[in-house]
Chain A
Amino acid sequence: MIKKFTTTVSAVALATVAGMATADVRIADVAELSGAGAAAGAVWHDGIVMAFEEINASGGILGEKVDLVAYDSQTDPQNSRAMVQKAIDEGTYVLMGTVYSSSTVVNMLVAQQNGMPQLTGSESPTITAKGNPYIFRTAFGAQKGMPKIGSYLKDGLGAKNIAVIWANTEFGKGGHDAFVKIAEGMGMNIIADVPTEQAQVDFAADVAKIKSSGADAIFAYMTEEESARFLIEAKKQGVDLPIAGDTVLISQKVIDLAGGAAEGAFGHVGLTAEAPIPAIQEMAKNFQAKFGYGADHNAIKGYLGAYTVKYVTEKIGSFDAEKFAETMHGLCLDAASHPGVLMDVCWDDTGEMSRASFLVEVKDNKQQITKTLPAN
C-alpha cells in the first residue's frame, strides 16, 4: 500500500516537474470577438493567431511555445475591463488588445495597475496621451494621419467646406477632434458636424443632412460596418462629393461590405495589404489562404503585434513584463532583421509609434496606393 502510494506521488511529482519544464508561455488576447466591433476584433485576433502559429512552428519564444488565449470583450468596455483582469489573474505574460478605443481607455487602467505591458490596436489619440507606461500601439494614433488628409483635401482637392461624420465613441471622438483641429488650422470650415452611434444601421438622415450642407468634401470617421452602411446610403442618395477617411473607411473590409459604394473613397492608411512591400504581401497571401478572407489593417496590426512580443522578449532574454515595457520605450525594430514587424517601426516614450504610411484610393473594389509617405 505504502509502495503504491509512494509510486503514485512520485509519478505526480515527475509529471509536474516535466510539465513545468515544457510550460508554454501564456499570452492573452482580449478582443472584440462579438458585438459591434467584431469586424475589427475578430480580424485582429486572426492576425495574432497566424503570427503565433508561425512563431511556434519556428521554435516559439526563447524556446517556449506560445499558448494564446482569447477573451471576448463583446465590444463592451466594462466587459473588456473584466476580461483584462481575468487574463492577468490567469497569468498572461503580456496583453494583446483591445482594438476599440472605447474599451482600451477603460481596460488599460487595469493593465497599468498590474504592471502589464499591453499592445493595443486602438487608434484614438487619447490612448497614448494618458502617461500610461505600459501601453503600446500596433498602429499609430489618428492624430498622425490627419495632417496628411487635411493637406490632401485642401491642396489636392481645393476643398474649403468640409462635412464631418464620425462615430460618437472614444475612437470616433479622438479622430474627429484631431481632424477638426487640423482642418480649421488649415483654414477649412467644418460646415456640418454629424455624430453617429456605434452599431447604427440607418444613415439616411445623416447623409441627407450632409448632402444639403453645401460641403465640398466629406470626412468620415467611423468603424467598419458603420462606414460601409454610410457609403451605401451615400450612393443611394446620389452623393457625388469626395469622401475621405483615415484607415477604416478605405479598408478592404469596408470595401467588401459596401460593394461598389466605396468606389472613389480615399484616405490615409497606416497599414494595408496592398502596400508595395513584399513582406506585407506575403503575409496577406498566407492570411487569405489560412482564413479564406483578405487581411486588412487590423489583421496586420495583430500579426506584427505578436511578432513584436517575440522580438522584444528575445531582446531582454526573459519573460519579464516590467523589462518588456521598459525596453519598448524608444525601441526601433527594422524589418530587415525583424521580418515579422513587416515595416521599420519605432515606439516613443508614450507608446506611440512611427512608421511609413500610404495614401490610397478605392478603385475597382480594391485599395490602390497613390503615395507612400515617410514616417512621422
Chain B
Amino acid sequence: MTELLQILISGLSAGAIYALAAVGFTLLWQASQTINFAQGEFVMIPAFIALALITKLGFPVWLAFIAAILLSIVFLGAVFKRLVVEPMISHGTLPLVIATIALGLLLKEAVKEFYSPLGQPFPGLFSHDTISVFGAAVSFADIANFVVAMGVIAGLQWFLNKTRTGRCMQATAQNPDVAQILGVDIKRMVLYTFLINGALAAIASILITPVYLAKFSNGEVLGLVAFIAAIVGGFNQIKGALVGGLLIGVIDNLSAVYISAEYRQAVPMILLILIIMVRPQGIMGESEGRAV
C-alpha cells in the first residue's frame, strides 16, 4: 500500500509538469491549428537559458529563472509565431508540422553544439527533504511541483473564463470569423496564446530539470509525453490536457512497477491507441467543440 501511494504521489508530481507542456500544446492547436512538435524542445530550452545566465553571467538563481521565463515568452512565444508559424500557416497544417519538427531538431542540435552534449546539474527551487504521508516519503519538491503546476493551470483557466481577454481568446479559438466581426482583435489573441505557451514551457522546464538534469535530448521524452497527454485527455480542451498529463504520469510509474520496467514506455502508447480507437476526441474532449 505504501509503495502504491509512493508511486501515485511521484506520478502525480511528474504528471502535473507533463500537463503544463500538454496544455501549451493544446492552446496552440486551439488558437491557431498549430501542432507544435517542438514542444519538448520548448521545455528543454528554458533550462539552458537559465543555466547560461547563472554560469556565464553570474545571475542569482531566482533572477535567472525569472529572466528565463521572460525570454521564453519572447522567443518561444512571439518570435516563434512571427518567424515560423506565420509564414507557414497559410500553407496548411502539414507544412507547419514539418516546420516545427525541423525547429525542434535545430534547437536540440544548437544546444548540443553551443552549450554541451553532456547532462548538466540544474538548481532546484525546492528542497528534496521529505515528510511521511501514510508511510510514503514525499519530498517538498514533489509537493511544490504539483502545487505550482496545478496553480498555474488553475490560474490559466481562471484567466480564460473570467477575464475579458480570456473570453476573447475563447471566442477566437471557437470561431475566428465571428470573433473578428464582433470586434475581437484575433491576431492579438493568437499572439497571447503563443506567449502563454512560452511561459508554460519555461515553468515546466524549471520544475522538471532539477530531476531530469539539463540535457539537450530531454525534449524527445517531454515532447512525446506532452503529445500523448494532449491526445489522451482531449486535444480540444485544457482540462483534457490536464487529465492526460496526470494520467500519463501515474500510468508510466504504475506500469514500470507492476507490469514491466522494460515496456514502461510502451504502455502510454498502448493507452493512446486505445483512446483513439474507443474515444477519438479523448477522455475529456468534445467531438467538435473547441475551447481554450
Contacts and interface: CB of A to CB of B under 8 A. Distances in A.
Interface in B44-74: none
B252 interface: yes
Task: Name the residue among B119, B213, B215, B217 with the largest chain A CB count within 10 angstroms.
Answer: B119
A225 B128 contact: no
B188 interface: no
Contact of A36 (B130, B212, B217): B217
A199 to B, nearest CB: 7
Given A194-B261, A232-B211, A205 B130 contact: no
A35 B262 CA distance: 20
A256 interface: yes
Interface string A144-171: 0000000000000000000000001000
Contacts of A36: 217
B223 to A, nearest CB: 13
B3 A237 contact: no
- Secondary structure call for the B interface: helix
Given A211-B3, A212-B3, A256 B121 contact: yes
Interface string B250-282: 001110110001101100000000000000000
B279 to A, nearest CB: 26
Interface string B13-51: 110000000000000000000000000000000000000
B94 interface: no
Given A42-B118, A228-B119, A236-B211, A208 B14 contact: no
Contacts of A187: none
- Secondary structure call for the A interface: helix
A229 B213 contact: yes
Contacts of A235: 128, 139
B197 interface: no
Contacts of A204: 7, 10-11, 13-14, 253
Contacts of A246: none
B139 A237 contact: yes
Contacts of B2: 212
A236 B213 contact: no
A201 interface: yes
Contact of B130 (A38, A238, A259): A238
Nearest to A72: B117
Interface string B203-222: 00000001111010110010
Interface in A183-234: 194-197, 199, 201-202, 204-206, 208-209, 211-212, 224-225, 228-229, 232-233
Given A38-B117, A232-B128, A205 B7 contact: yes
B121 A205 contact: no
A313 interface: no
A79 interface: no
Contacts of A33: 117
B157 interface: no
Contacts of B210: 232
Task: Name the residue among A35, A211, A257 with the largest chain B CB count within 10 angstroms.
Answer: A257
A270 B264 CA distance: 34
**Interchain residue pairs A-B with the least CB separation, the first 10:** A238-B137, A204-B10, A205-B256, A212-B3, A238-B130, A38-B117, A205-B253, A225-B119, A236-B139, A34-B117
7 contacts: A205-B10, A205-B254, A225-B213, A229-B211, A232-B128, A236-B139, A256-B121
